[in-house]
Chains A and B, each alone.
Chain A
Amino acid sequence: MSSLILRAATRALAPLLLMLSLFLLWRGHNEPGGGFIGGLVAASAAALQGIAFGPAAARRMLWLPPVGVAATGLALAVLSILPSALAGLPPMKALWAKLDLGDGAVVPLGTPLLFDIGVFLVVVGSVVALISALEHAPE
């Protein structure tokens, strides 16, 4: 299933895809992108890695076991409910904090971003878990 060309291309492509996925995740609130799309891009990077270098390499890209990544994502998404609940607002009401970097650059950080990161991790973890399970299935 693996070839030299594929391996060489993957070495360059996988990190690029990963960076692209984070970029998409970050800007998703204002431009096309978001947690779901970013997660899919990151998962395709892992899939590429898996096809080129074997399932172990794909799992090495994630620091945790893939199902653990998905579970962490789900936990983050649930956690993002908490701040509004603690503040006594309606559940899941978004809360924002402005992060001032100086020079007039203001970065809004809010619970939706946390939620989006959760979505991202769920998608990555689930897809990689499925693919590596497939790789493990006996011939």
Chain B
Amino acid sequence: MLTVVLAPFAAALLAPLIVSRLRDRAALVLALVPASLFAWAMANLGEAFPGRIEATPWVPGLSVSLSFNLDGLSALFTLLITGIGTLVVLYAGGYLAGHVMLGRFFAILFAFMGAMLGVVLSDNMIALFVFWELTSLASYLLVGFEAAKPHARRSALQALLITGTGGLALLAGMILLAEAGGSWELSDLALAKSWLQASPLYGPALVLVLVGCFTKSAQWPFHSWLPGAMAAPTPVSAYLHSATMVKAGVYLLARLEPALGGTDVWLVSLGLVGGITMLMGAVFALLETDLKLVLAWTTVAALGTLVFLLAPSFEPSVKAAMAFLLVHALYKGALFMTAGNLDHEAGTRDLTRLRGLARAMPLTFAAAAMAAFSMAGLPASLGWVAKELIGLAKASDEIGLTLTAATAANAAGFAVACIAGLRPYLGQASEAAAEAHEAPWTMLAGPLLLGALGLVFGMAPQLAADLLIAPAAAAVLGTKPALEITLFKGFDWKFLLTLATFAAGAAIYLAWVRFGAEARARSAPVLERGPDRGYDHLLAGLAAFASWLTRLMQPGLLHRYVAATFAVVGLVVIAGAFRGPFALAPLGDGGKLIEWVVIVLTAAAALATALATTRLLAVTALGMVGLGVAMIFMLWSAPDLAITQFMVETLIVVILALILIRLPGFRITSEADRPGPGTIMIAAGAGVLVAVLMLGVLAEPFDPRLAEWFGANAVPGGLGRNVVNVILVDFRALDTLGEITVVVAAALGGIAAMMRFGRRRADAGGREDR
């Protein structure tokens, strides 16, 4: 299964090359990748219950493995991702034919495909999270694909920020789940259900995971990015923002239902958020005239419906959710593609200007009509089956409110199906229709096939039920449910309700035709104050806060940085000293005369540094302090250290002197340059602290094992008698390599800073010498 997940990534790497070689035929070749993965998934459908887990170690030390689980739920999603993926690749080849960036487009699209497969197949939560974030990144790049448009850039960033923030919440939630459940594997967590739900971590973990899922699946109040994501090219909208990526949140909810579901918190939060999203999406869909935005809002509504159905963890509603997930992916993918055809061939997506296109685009019309059929839930379509199941689920939980809400959403769906699937093609041909002609076959294959599938499954519902819906529901429920679907259950009150729904939908459609323009005009000011505007305010506020904090923390004055650094170090050391027993070593006996001489000289140099009246004097005195320390190294028989210290001090004095002669204000005269009482306090404190620290360290028993090992091994192991150097170039050569890399980087940084300084000075002086 690792191969399956990695295959699209390989295709992503090759895509630009293939596109540059084959130009317009590239899509046909590239479509073979998802097609063969689709075949693989079909061949493995038989094993989908109870599921098959394969693991490849990834970071064994952190118990992260690339473990993949193919069960009914992941099989359903894999089929959707690869199947619709094949059609979308074909479609994109036609839609973006001749586009300059086609290679890049396919590369990102395939990277997304691989990431999405990773999300639905991963059993390990860390691996799932990595793939999850990759889908967000791919979505960002695809929404912002038309990077020249400011609107596309803003939408891309919004999608990334919202889903990315949700992703971080999800990561935190997953960590808590692993803590509470004792495993990073989702399949283990499902077994630890009672344990998990009794844990005090259950509440916070659930909230965080839900935030992650709700942001990804565009639930209220995080939904505003999804309509914005319509800035992406239409194939992307069909694939990412209706059929697959936005369902990742729903997928994870379904996947975690066995572990986390069944509690009141789960029921209320999913039911409430899903219900609000469902109704809001339905209403807003009717207030748009851009065909893609209409479809985007109905996608929001559909995602709300799915979350709503997953709220009660009992059999009928899970089955209904799985059926609706399948049918929605089919009809919404098809409708987005037909919308793309209209945009591509008639040059507009404005519903008020698209009329009577059936004659010019008969096949597109056929596809749209089939999809609309399913969306409206008319008999003999899969939509009808899903709606029956939803009705069953809602009827059996005996709450009038949910039934009403679901009915209202259904009616709105019926109306939108008429608006998006039928209206543009019927009636008097508009201006746009006169110019239009039929799309190429690559752009028809997808919508026709998806539309037809909805009808085929509608005629033979048992096929869909046994193949896809029942195994998926089984993965969520943990037991294999019986799923008997009959097309017609006879005249009872539910059938009457269905009829009423159709009637209500038709009424809404007629109202939309009559009063749509007026309703749009009236609602516009209200819609402006939605979460989308809130996002703008939030972003502006964040930027303002960041600049305030930066001004506070980064004044650009070196002496403040140094003071802050030493003060913090001092506080940390003091805090550490109070934590445990802290002994000081005794101050040994007198010491040799030469040692005292060095100490007195060093102390005098330090005092001279503090009292110096010119900067050059201060630098030189500071160098003297360093030389004094080097002398101490000499006395304590560390010649290598001593020589290094001597050289470094000398060079530092030279370099500082070179800097100082370029600076104005050679003398330290002004009050601002004199160290104030605060500075003196910090400096004295730091000195005392270091002294105390050294004495504290000396009080600890010295562990000579390392020193002894190096001493014993330097000659036989490193062929050198200078232990220090053998450590540097042999035993710990990797550390040295890191250090010299830093040296080079620091030199480059210094040069760059100097050049910038030089340029600034030159600009200020208006001179041209460089």
Interface residues of A (CB under 8 A from B): 1, 24, 28-37, 40-41, 43-44, 47, 51, 67, 70-71, 73-74, 77-78, 80, 91-92, 94, 96, 108, 110, 112-113, 115-116, 118-119, 122-123, 125-127, 129-131, 133-139
Contacts and interface: CB of A to CB of B under 8 A. Distances in A.
A1 B661 contact: yes
A127 B740 contact: no
B231 to A, nearest CB: 44
Contacts of B350: none
Interface of B: 639-640, 643-644, 647-648, 650-651, 654-655, 658-659, 661-662, 718-722, 724-726, 728-730, 733-734, 736-737, 740-741, 743-744, 746-748, 750-751, 754-755, 757-758, 761-762, 765, 767, 769
A33 B658 contact: no
A24 B743 CA distance: 20
A126 B744 CA distance: 6
Contacts of B726: 29, 112
A37 B769 CA distance: 37
A40 B639 contact: no
Contact of A112 (B651, B733, B750): B733
Contacts of A33: 640, 643, 722, 725
A33 B743 CA distance: 19
B747 A70 contact: yes
Contacts of B640: 32-34, 37
Given A77-B740, A130-B750, 19 more contacts: A29-B725, A32-B639, A37-B644, A44-B654, A51-B654, A71-B744, A74-B740, A96-B719, A112-B718, A112-B730, A116-B728, A116-B729, A125-B747, A130-B655, A133-B751, A136-B754, A137-B758, A138-B765, A138-B769
Contacts of B761: 137-138
Contacts of B755: 133
Contacts of B651: 40, 43-44, 47, 127
B508 to A, nearest CB: 70
B747 A67 contact: yes
Main secondary structure of the interface of B (DSSP, over half): helix
Given A44-B650, A138-B769, A129 B718 contact: no
A122 B658 contact: no
Sort A-B residue pairs by CB-CB distance and give the 8 closest, nearest first: A40-B647, A126-B747, A29-B720, A32-B639, A112-B729, A34-B725, A30-B721, A122-B740
12 contacts: A29-B725, A30-B722, A34-B640, A70-B747, A108-B719, A118-B740, A122-B743, A125-B747, A129-B748, A130-B750, A137-B757, A138-B767
Given A33-B640, A47-B651, A116-B729, A77 B737 contact: yes
A130 B729 contact: no
Main secondary structure of the interface of A (DSSP, over half): helix
A123 B744 CA distance: 8
A28 B643 contact: no
B643 A37 contact: yes
A67 B751 CA distance: 10
Contacts of A139: 662
A119 B746 contact: no
Contacts of A96: 719
B725 A134 contact: no
Given A74-B740, A112-B733, A119-B729, A134 B659 contact: yes
B751 A129 contact: yes
A24 B643 CA distance: 10
A37 to B, nearest CB: 5
Contacts of B725: 28-29, 33-34, 116
A77 B737 CA distance: 7
Given A34-B728, A92-B733, A112-B730, A134 B655 contact: yes
Nearest to A122: B740
Nearest to B718: A94
A17 B751 CA distance: 25
Contacts of A30: 720-722
Contacts of B747: 67, 70, 125-127, 129-130
A8 B755 CA distance: 32
A70 B740 CA distance: 9
A70 B746 CA distance: 11
B647 A37 contact: yes
Given A29-B722, A31-B721, A130 B751 contact: yes
B644 A40 contact: yes
A112 to B, nearest CB: 4
A77 B725 CA distance: 15
Nearest to B757: A137
Contacts of A135: 658
